[in-house]
Amino acid sequence: MTKPAFSHLFTPVRLGPLALPHRAVMAPMTRNRAGPGNVPQDLNVTYYRQRAKGALILTEATQISPQGVGYPATPGIHSAEQVAGWQRVTDAVHEEGGWIFLQLWHVGRISHPSLQPDGALPVAPSAIRPAGEAMTYEGLQPFVTPRELVTEEIPGLLAQFETAARNAHRAGFDGVEIHAANGYLLDQFLRDGTNRRTDRYGGSLMNRARLLHDVVEAVAGVWGADRVGVRLSPLNAFNDMQDSAPETTFPAVASMLGRQKLAYLHVVEVSLVGDVPPFDWPAMREAFGGLYMANGGYDGPKAEAAIAEGRADLVSFARPFLANPDLVHRLETGAALNEPDPATFYGGDAKGYTDYPTLAAS
């Protein structure tokens, strides 16, 4: 048997109750290919089945409620039809011997009234309009000033996360990841550039982190903490995000999550826009104290080095998995990778989604 090209990347690891065969995870990637009603369709079943050899699949971000919608043709987990659609996906992945977590998502202010129930304003920790434009069914439109969530609405928001977690369980997932990154609602609460509240969910660092803490508690109450992960992006400026002291904010958040005994912490170590200043990523891992999943610009050699040097326990790959349904086999054998086609990343049909060739097909 040929020895894997990356021997550390291809060592098994335990993630909560799951025995993962290696450490190359499929990262969550929005692809805008859900069917009518934001329901996963046949194309999505094929897409995830093709990539089931990942150590763990993290699905595309999936809205927990109609209020959480921020983009066209993104899947939800709040209707019976959506649950049934996702059940077909999880069945396909399990048939191939894979594990799959659903990423729970509320976009907060990164939405538009045309995407909201009854044309309502998007909600946010504070009424601060993001720079940029929303992607709508009518094309790009300027973001609007969101409505600040009042304190009395927070229990209802927590109930949305809990219901979505229960629906994910019904749909056959193996666990869930809470999306607290990339400028969406939970990230908006964490960072002082978007959270100007004066109640118990704003002001001090731990007050700003309180909503994430409470969401984790609600979701772990459904799944058990050892089947729940959280994604953070300390330096990502995407969606007009900033924090005055990320080097203080995010290790403290990681420490809080570590005390909640989560399955893993998933950290985006890059920014989707602009440069990334220096940051002590090992401090994040140490503060969390559990399994640390690194993301952002990793290829096989970089992932191998990160694991060999103890800087990560798992690495999630985005574009390499997008363009290489057989990425795991290619990494194992040291084969060349397909190049992704950015023109087909978002929306469309099978082109650039399920038609990338495998080594066997080539």
- Per-residue model confidence as pLDDT tens for the chain (362 residues): 344 578 999 999 999 999 999 999 999 999 999 999 999 999 999 999 999 999 999 999 999 999 999 999 999 999 999 999 999 999 999 999 999 999 999 999 999 999 999 999 999 999 999 999 999 999 999 999 999 999 999 999 999 999 999 999 999 999 999 999 999 999 999 999 999 999 999 999 999 999 999 999 999 999 999 999 999 999 999 999 999 999 999 999 999 999 999 999 999 999 988 888 899 999 999 999 999 999 999 999 999 999 999 999 999 999 999 999 999 999 999 999 999 999 999 999 999 999 999 998 76
Q: How many domains does the chain have?
A: 1
CATH number, domain at 137?
A: 3.20.20.70
Map residue 88 onto helix, strand or coil: helix
Residue 355 lies in a domain: no
Euclidean distance between CA atoms 290 and 228, whole angstroms? 12
Residue 339 lies in a domain: yes
Residue 279 lies in a domain: yes
Euclidean distance between CA atoms 291 and 281, whole angstroms? 13
Residues annotated as catalytic are 184
Q: CA torsion sign, 310 to 313 to 319 to 320? A: positive
Euclidean distance between CA atoms 28 and 87, whole angstroms? 18
Contact present, 338 and 325 (Cβ < 8 Å): no
Residue 358 lies in a domain: no
Structure tokens at 303: 């992932």
Residue 249 lies in a domain: yes
Residue 199 lies in a domain: yes
Q: Which domain holds residue 134?
A: 13-344
- Which residue stretches of the chain are H helix? 42-50, 80-95, 154-170, 185-190, 205-223, 246-259, 281-288, 300-308, 319-323, 327-333
Structure tokens at 215: 């969401």
Residue 357 lies in a domain: no
